C-alpha cells in the first residue's frame, strides 16, 4: 500500500500523526511519493507542500505567507513580524552587529572549546550535555556578552523558547504527549521572566562601564554584541531603546544554543552511521584546512535536517503549483508547512539529490531558512557547527556508542560517543 493510499484509509484526526511518523522513520521514500502523487497535500487544518518550487514560492512571498503563528510566542520581537518598519530596522541593526569579520574568531573559539571538552572527557562522553550544548553556551557567555550567567539557566531559556515557538503550535496538539501545551508555554514565560531580570542587570552593568569610559569603550575594542547594541541605543542614531536592546540580546541566546546543538548531533549521527561517509569525513577533519569538513557537515544536514519543515499562515487566497497538474488554491487562514527536507531532494532543485556529495552547491538549501525569515545567524552557524563536528571526528577510533535519544521531546538529549584516549578524564592523573 502506498503512503498516499494509506493516508486515505487513516481517520482524519490521525493523519498528521501518521505523516509525522513517516517523516521521522521513512522520510525520503515518503517525500518521493508525495512529490510525485500529491505534492500539495491537504490534511485537516493543514496543507503540506513538498516540491522545491512550491516551497520556494511560500517562503519567498512573506506578504501572503506570514509568520503569524510566531506572534503568541514572540510578541514584540521583530522576527514575529513581516513587512513592518521594526522588522527591517532591527534586522539591519543585528546584521551589522553580528559582523562577518568576527567569523574567524567565533570559529576558533568553538573549535578550541570543543577540543577542550573532548580532552577532558577521557574517551567517552554524552555528546549533548557535554559538547553540543556546552560549546554554544560558552560562546554565548564569552563572545556574546552573557557574563556572570548560569549555564544551566541560559540553556533553559533557549530550550523553552525554542520548544514553545517551533514545537508547540496548534497543529502539534494531536501528536504532543508530555508536557502539555500549556505547561510548555508556562515554562517559556517563566524562563523569559528570569532572562529579563538577568538582562536588566547585565545592561545596567554595561551602561555603567561605558559611562566610566566616556561612552566609547576601551580604545580599539568594539566589544561584544550586547555592548555594541547598548552603544547604538545610547547614541540615539536609530529608534532602538533599551527594551529593544534587551529583546535582541535575548534573541541571540535563544537562537544559538538549541539550534546549534541539534545541528551538531544530527550531522555527527548521520556521518557516523555509514562507514564510507565516516571515513571520508574523518579524512576531511584531519586536514590542516579547517573548512575541509564543511561540505560534509552541510550535506549531512541536508540528509538529516534539524528542521524538516517550516510553517506559515496563508493570509489571502493564493495559487500554488502554478501551471502544473497539482495546481491548487490555498484558502486564506490555512496553515501551510513547507517540507524543506523533501524540497532538498527534489531533482528540479538539486542535481542527483540522493547522492551524498560534500562538494555540492548548498546555496539553495533550506538548512537556515529562506527569504524574509532566513536565519539571522546563518553565517555564524555555518562556521561554528562544522568547527565542533571537526574536533569530534579528529578523535581516533571514534564510535557512536548508542543512538540519539530525544527522551520523548523534540531535541536530542543524549548521544553517547567513545574513542581511543589514554588520558584520564577531568585532568586527573593517569594511572601508572
Domain ranges of the chain: 3-146+255-417
The mean pLDDT of 4-13, rounded to a whole number, is 94
C-alpha span between 270 and 403 (Å, rounded): 11
pLDDT at residue 429, rounded to an integer: 37
pLDDT at residue 423, rounded to an integer: 55
Contact 131, 125 (CB under 8 A): yes
Contacts of 315 (CB under 8 A, 6+ apart): 63, 64, 65, 66, 68, 332
C-alpha span between 55 and 58 (Å, rounded): 5
Asked if the peptide bond before residue 179 counts as cis, ω within 30 degrees of 0, the response is yes
The mean pLDDT of 387-409, rounded to a whole number, is 97
pLDDT exceeds cutoff 80 at 330: yes
C-alpha span between 312 and 373 (Å, rounded): 11
pLDDT tens across 117-174, in order? 999 999 999 999 999 999 999 999 999 999 899 999 999 999 999 999 999 999 998 8
Q: Which of 406, 380, 152, 362 has its CA nearest to residue 251?
A: 380
Nearest 5°: CA angle at 91, between 389 and 137? 35
Which element (helix H / strand E) includes 120?
A: helix 103-121
Q: How many Å from the N-terminal Cα to the C-terminal Cα in the chain?
A: 63
The second-level CATH assignment, the architecture, of 3-146+255-417 is Orthogonal Bundle (1.10)
Q: Which of 262, 38, 316, 259 has its CA nearest to residue 140?
A: 259
pLDDT at residue 184, rounded to an integer: 96
CA distances from 184 to 116, 164, 222, 417 (A): 34, 6, 38, 30
Q: Structure pTM? A: 0.94
The mean pLDDT of 34-49, rounded to a whole number, is 96
In DSSP terms, which residues pair with 46 in a beta bridge?
A: 43, 335
User: CB-hemisphere CA count at 13 Å for 132?
Assistant: 27
C-alpha span between 203 and 431 (Å, rounded): 48
Amino acid at each position: 500500500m502506498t503512503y498516499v493510499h494509506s493516508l486515505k484509509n487513516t481517520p482524519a484526526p490521525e493523519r498528521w500523526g501518521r505523516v509525522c511518523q513517516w517523516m521521522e522513520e521513512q522520510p525520503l521514500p515518503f517525500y518521493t511519493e508525495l512529490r510525485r502523487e500529491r505534492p500539495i497535500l491537504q490534511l485537516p487544518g493543514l496543507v503540506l507542500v513538498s516540491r522545491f518550487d512550491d516551497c520556494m514560492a511560500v517562503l519567498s512571498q512573506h506578504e501572503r505567507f506570514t509568520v503569524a503563528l510566531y506572534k503568541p510566542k514572540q510578541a514584540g520581537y521583530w522576527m514575529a513580524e513581516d513587512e513592518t518598519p521594526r522588522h527591517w530596522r532591527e534586522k539591519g541593526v543585528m546584521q551589522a552587529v553580528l559582523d562577518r569579520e568576527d567569523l574567524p574568531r567565533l570559529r576558533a573559539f568553538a573549535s578550541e572549546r570543543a577540543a577542550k571538552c573532548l580532552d577532558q572527557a577521557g574517551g567517552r562522553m554524552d555528546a549533548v550535555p557535554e559538547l553540543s550544548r556546552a560549546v554554544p553556551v560558552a560562546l554565548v557567555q564569552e563572545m556574546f556578552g552573557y557574563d556572570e550567567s548560569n549555564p544551566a539557566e541560559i540553556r533553559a531559556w533557549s530550550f523553552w523558547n525554542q520548544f514553545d515557538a517551533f514545537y508547540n503550535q496548534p497543529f502539534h496538539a494531536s501528536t504532543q504527549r508530555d508536557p502539555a501545551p500549556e505547561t510548555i508555554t508556562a515554562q517559556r514565560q517563566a524562563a523569559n521572566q528570569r532572562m529579563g531580570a538577568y538582562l536588566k542587570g547585565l545592561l545596567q552593568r554595561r551602561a555603567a562601564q561605558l559611562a566610566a569610559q566616556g561612552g566609547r569603550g576601551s580604545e580599539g575594542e568594539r566589544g561584544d554584541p550586547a555592548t555594541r547594541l547598548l552603544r547604538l541605543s545610547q547614541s540615539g542614531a536609530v529608534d532602538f531603546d533599551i527594551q529593544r536592546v534587551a529583546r535582541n540580546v535575548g534573541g541571540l541566546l535563544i537562537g544559538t544554543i538549541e539550534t546549534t546543538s541539534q545541528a551538531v548531533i544530527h550531522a555527527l549521527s548521520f556521518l557516523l552511521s555509514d562507514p564510507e561517509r565516516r571515513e571520508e569525513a574523518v579524512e576531511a577533519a584531519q586536514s590542516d584546512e579547517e573548512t575541509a569538513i564543511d561540505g560534509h557537515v552541510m550535506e549531512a544536514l541536508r540528509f538529516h535536517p534539524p528542521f524538516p519543515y517550516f510553517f506559515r499562515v496563508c493570509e489571502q487566497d493564493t495559487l500554488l503549483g502554478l501551471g502544473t497538474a497539482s495546481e491548487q488554491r490555498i484558502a486564506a487562514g490555512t496553515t501551510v508547512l513547507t517540507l524543506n527536507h523533501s524540497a532538498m531532494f527534489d531533482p528540479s532543485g538539486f542535481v542527483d539529490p540522493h547522492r551524498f556529495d560534500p562538494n555540492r552547491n548548498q546555496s539553495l538549501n533550506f538548512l537556515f531558512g529562506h527569504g524574509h525569515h532566513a536565519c539571522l545567524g546563518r553565517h555564524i552557524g555555518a562556521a561554528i557547527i562544522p568547527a565542533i563536528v571537526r574536533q569530534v571526528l579528529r578523535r581516533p577510533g571514534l564510535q557512536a556508542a548508542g543512538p540519539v535519544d530525544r527522551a520523548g521531546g523534540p531535541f536530542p538529549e543524549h548521544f553517547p560517543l567513545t574513542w581511543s584516549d589514554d588520558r584520564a578524564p577531568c585532568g586527573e592523573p593517569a594511572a601508572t
